[in-house]
């Protein structure tokens, strides 16, 4: 693996590079608090005038042509997408007062030339892509299912911060220029999933569903990834995103949503509970005492024998969609409570 230390703006400012998010990666998901923290870090870093470490971006080389290079971003999407939305807001805010800055931001950090036209520097996957393309290229906001609410909300939030005078665009840009980042390039025998697990071992835990999805879909090539994802996994994510909101509402306390320090226990709980239902049926001997044990059980099962990929995805899809349809049943509640740390009915 090739490791390079750089800055966020140097990463985005590479003139012929386009960053592509694999189809199996989760959608853009940063919340208001995370986006506010990113803004605060940029402003404070500018005022402190010293580097601020922002993490690791894991990538592998994609197919390149005469137009430039494509880098497949395996980890680091959320940070890079948020930076792009902030830079787009700065560009649009600066168009009247500082057109030179607006042009610089657009040409250097937001767009790249592909096939004789401007294209976004970062290509998001699935339904996020039309929204990000509209923000970066100035097109009309997509409607209905093609619109990604969080992409537009983050952009609007940054525009409003600039309008309120929280900081000037050039000050924010100065802060972003001091954001240091480590770029890790996968090479040869490096296995993306193993590195991905290692990079995410600390900090906020990933949803089990994210890790299982990546474990399954990184076993095949790009075209097959897309086919299997769209056929089996995307319907699950759509179904459970809606159910997630219902669970969050039920978990509200009299004074509001659960505290941020407990948010990770709630996020993704319904999908993970459905996967637990599948695991207890198909790998009953797995030693799962808590939610954190689930991924290890899946990984051991899927890698210890010649498990047919599509048949497994079909089985998971059938079980999880059945779970979603029975969300108010005792069956579903029991699995949700187990994932939440209340293992009654599963032997402690």
Alpha helices in 178-293 (DSSP H): 192-199, 208-217, 222-228, 234-250, 263-266, 269-282
pLDDT at 126: 73
Q: Which residues pair with 18 in a beta bridge?
A: 70
Check if the beta carbon of residue 104 is closer than 8 Å to that of residue 116: no
Phi, psi of 33 (to 5 degrees): -65, -40
What is the pLDDT confidence band of residue 36, given thresholds at 50, 70 and 90?
A: very high
As given in the structure block, the two tokens for residue 169 are 């665009």
How many angstroms separate the CA atoms of 83 and 110, rounded?
A: 10
pLDDT at 100: 97
Of 185, 72, 75, the C-alpha closest to 123 is 72
Interior CA angle at 61 toward 21 and 13, to 5°? 70
What pLDDT, in 10s, does the model give residues 198-236? Answer: 555 444 456 788 888 888 888 888 789 889 988 999 889
CA dihedral for 157, 142, 243, 74, sign (positive or negative): negative
What pLDDT, in 10s, does the model give residues 86-100? Answer: 999 999 999 999 999
Average pLDDT over residues 116-125: 90
Strands 52-61 and 179-185, sheet pairing: parallel
How many angstroms separate the CA atoms of 84 and 88, rounded?
A: 6
Average pLDDT over residues 147-158: 92
What pLDDT, in 10s, does the model give residues 271-306? Answer: 999 999 999 999 888 888 888 888 888 988 888 777
Of 132, 284, 298, the C-alpha closest to 207 is 298
Q: Reduced to 3 states, what is the DSSP secondary structure of residue 239?
A: helix
pLDDT > 50? residue 11: yes
pLDDT at 251: 57
Q: Please state, as a whole number, how many other Cβ atoms lie within 10 Å of the Cβ of residue 303.
A: 11
Percent of the chain with pLDDT over 70: 84
pLDDT at 264: 44
What is the pLDDT confidence band of residue 193, given thresholds at 50, 70 and 90?
A: low
pLDDT at 260: 42
Strands 2-7 and 17-20, sheet pairing: unpaired
How many angstroms separate the CA atoms of 345 and 348, rounded?
A: 7
pLDDT at 194: 56
Question: What is this structure's pTM?
Answer: 0.69
């Amino acid at each position: 693996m090739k490791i390079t230390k750089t800055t966020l703006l140097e990463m985005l400012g590479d003139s012929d590079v386009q960053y592509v998010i694999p189809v199996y990666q989760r959608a853009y998901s940063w919340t208001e608090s995370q986006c506010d923290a990113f803004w605060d870090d940029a402003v404070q870093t500018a005022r402190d005038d010293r580097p601020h470490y922002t993490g690791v971006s894991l990538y592998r080389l994609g197919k390149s042509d005469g137009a430039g290079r494509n880098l497949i971003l395996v980890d680091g999407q959320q940070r890079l997408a948020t930076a792009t939305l902030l830079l787009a807001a700065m560009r649009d805010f600066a168009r009247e007062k500082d057109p030179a800055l607006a042009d610089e931001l657009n040409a250097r950090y937001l767009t790249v030339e592909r096939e004789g036209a401007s294209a976004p520097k970062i290509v998001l996957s699935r339904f996020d892509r039309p929204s990000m393309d509209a923000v970066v290229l100035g097109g009309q906001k997509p409607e209905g299912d093609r619109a990604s609410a969080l992409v537009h909300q983050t952009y609007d939030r940054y525009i409003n911060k600039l309008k309120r005078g929280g900081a000037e665009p050039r000050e924010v840009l100065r802060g972003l220029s001091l954001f240091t980042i480590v770029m890790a390039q996968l090479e040869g025998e490096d296995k993306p999933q193993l590195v991905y697990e290692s990079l995410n071992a600390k900090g906020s835990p990933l949803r089990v569903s994210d890790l299982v999805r990546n474990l399954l879909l990184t076993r095949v090539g790009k075209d097959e990834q897309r086919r299997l994802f769209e056929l089996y996994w995307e319907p699950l994510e759509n179904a459970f995103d809606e159910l997630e909101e219902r669970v969050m509402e039920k978990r509200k306390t009299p004074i509001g949503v659960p505290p941020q320090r407990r948010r990770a226990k709630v996020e993704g709980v319904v999908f993970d509970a459905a996967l637990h239902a599948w695991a207890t049926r198909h790998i009953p001997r797995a030693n799962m005492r808590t939610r954190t044990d689930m991924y290890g059980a899946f990984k051991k099962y899927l890698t210890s024998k010649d498990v047919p990929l599509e048949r497994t995805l079909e089985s998971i899809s059938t079980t999880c969609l059945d779970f979603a349809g029975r969300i108010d049943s005792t069956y579903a509640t029991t699995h949700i409570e187990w994932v939440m740390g209340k293992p009654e009915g599963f032997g402690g």
